Structure 1
Amino acid sequence: MSVRRDGELIRLEGACPVEEAETLAALLLAEPGLGVEWSACTGLHTALVQVLLRLRPPLHGTCGDPFAARWLAPVLAAPRAPSEPG
């Protein structure tokens, strides 16, 4: 399993395929404020990217997927625009 709950964190590990997007969303919606540790993630399907962009959980570590670390992490760290749904 590439998405799993580990105490107060959700861990993304290895390649995270589309099938894991629902799991990630359910975990984040069930307990808002849970952080996501993504250092061991080597690939994110765009469905998981969409979940992260919509729910904006606190991120821990640097994503192991170079593309996500370079382009996605700064977007997720930025404050939401006033027009964005919260």
Structure 2
Amino acid sequence: MTVLLVDSATIRLDGWCAVEDAEPLLRLLLEGPGRIVDWRQCDHAHTAVVQILLATRATLMGPPRGTFLRSLVAPAVERRAGP
């Protein structure tokens, strides 16, 4: 599984996160407000997963390992921190 609850405060995204990972990610974020998403081992994330990160304004521990995520997605996620 690529979405893992590491401890009560941290969700880890590993490898290639597919569309099927969006629902478990959202569930874990809703069950534990304030959880941090560690995506340092994430190579690829389906747009549904990225949308969850954007919509929930999750705090991310990164940068992600994937080049596309690091260069294009991470800056967009960081900018969404405003109102």
With the length of structure 1 as denominator, give the TM-score of the two structures: 0.87
Structure 2 gap segments, 5+ residues each: none
Cα shift at 1:47:
0.6
Structure 2 residue 4 is matched with structure 1 residue 4 = yes
Match of 1:49 in 2: 50
Q: Distance in 1 between matches of 2:42 and 2:5?
A: 14
How many residues align? The count is 81
Structure having the higher Rg: 1
Matches within 5 A, 1:1-86: 1-7=1-7, 8-78=9-79, 79-81=81-83
More deviation, 39-48/61-70 = 61-70
Q: Percent identity?
A: 41
Deviation of the 1:80 alpha carbon: 2.2
Higher strand content, 1 or 2: 2
TM-score scaled by length of structure 2: 0.90
The DSSP-based 3-state class of the residue aligned with 1:50 is helix
Partner deviation per Cα, 1:19-48 (whole Å, 9 max, x = no partner) = 010000000011111001111111100110
CA distance in 2, matches of 1:48, 1:28: 12
How many angstroms does 1:62 deviate by? 1.0
For the residue of structure 2 that corresponds to 1:74, the secondary structure is: helix
